[in-house]
Amino acid sequence: MGPPPAIQKPAAGTLRPLYAAIDARLGAFAVRLTAGPHWKAKALLFILSFSLFRAFPNYNFLRAPGVPDTWKNAAIKIANPAADMTRLFPADLHESNLTFRLTVPLIARVLHLGTVGHLALFAVCGVLLLLCVLTLAERITGARTVALYVTLATACTWPGLLAFHQLLGGFYDVVALLLLLFAMAARPPALAAAAVFAAAWTDERALPAVALLCLFALAQSERPRCIAVLSGAAAHLGSRIWMVTVWHLHTTMGGAGIATFLRNLHVAPLGVWSGLGGSWILVVCALAILAARRRYFEFAGLALAIALVTAGALSVGDLTRSMAYALPAVFVALHVLAKNETPGTVERITQAAALVCALLPTWFVQSGDATWILPLPVQLIRLFVYPRLG
């Protein structure tokens, strides 16, 4: 009997050269794109072009039945900021929640904005939001390429896309998110307080995110900023109570609560994921670092703050929309990574997050249904070839 046949072993590191080649090409491209004095403008132009190509707005939706009515109904607050929307609309309609969302209606009143004006305002705010992401990420890590990856990841998920995709009247999330990021980026604490105050008056979903802003301030040893953020939230609550007392305004919890939470459970994984997409990689890595280093207080703070935002999101129908307010957690996580890992490791982690966000579809989860946001070629077919599809 001859010797047994030799067992063929797979070549060691078969995928490693491929990964190394991809990493080298992406790294070289990122370095070229972020070189020079005008690197932010170049980076934003590329990021916007790429993100909108892979997830383009469906402008046919503006002509869909009922959509123009949402803009007419939202205009009531522009004409009369003191209007009690709960007395004008049933509790299960979105319009009934607009009573205390005053920031955008006041801006629209001053600037005399109609539907097109609102959409232009939101687009400008969307660009400024990405600029804030780029600035914060570069400030935290000191690396332009990392800032590029973090901003690309944000632009390919709902927080970075909603400025161009929210085509219903009365939805002001991009303004609220921009104000929250401005509160994180602004140097004077007074500006941070004012930004939080305005964000809460834009949409109440900004209030749970205040916990993440406080964690970010404390992580950077900026206690005055933390106090300012809390003061802005407290000022909002105090002025809101005053308006309820003096103007006898009301709000509604229609469509929110335990029943909605239970209905959302079957789409909870996708809904939670859709809020940040691949950027959750940064958050998970940060939590793992804090746990490994036995920094349990910081671990618990970040985990509880995210749980607060998530619980609130699961309790309403707009799951993806509400999870977008977890965006400040990305910068808390980025701070943890920058303080505990080498620059090369931070760059690889953020690059992986950007690749996941760029390659996986963007989903919007609402009322138990998941919708894929289609890329530009498909949207053009819908817009010009089959316009009746909406």
pLDDT tens track for 18-33: 777 777 888 888 999 9
- Is the model's pLDDT at 389 over the cut of 60? no
* Contact present, 214 and 49 (Cβ < 8 Å): no
Cα separation, 328 vs 334, in Å, equals 10
**Strand (E) or helix (H) holding 69:** helix 67-79
* Contact present, 146 and 137 (Cβ < 8 Å): yes
- Is the model's pLDDT at 3 over the cut of 70? no
List the one residue out of 67, 61, 63, 100 whose CA is nearest residue 81.
100
- Is the model's pLDDT at 206 over the cut of 60? yes
Cα separation, 169 vs 182, in Å, equals 24
pLDDT of residue 271: 94
Assign 311 a pLDDT band (cuts: 50, 70, 90): very high
pLDDT of residue 117: 96
Give 166-231 as a DSSP string.
--STT--HHHHHHHHHHHHH-SSHHHHHHHHHHHHHH-TTHHHHHHHHHHHHHHTT-HHHHHHHHH
Within 10 A of 292 (CB to CB), how many other CB atoms are there?
A: 10
pLDDT of residue 90: 87
> By three-state DSSP, how is residue 370 classified?
strand
Exposed, middle or buried by CB within 10 Å (0-12, 13-18, 19+), for 23? Answer: middle
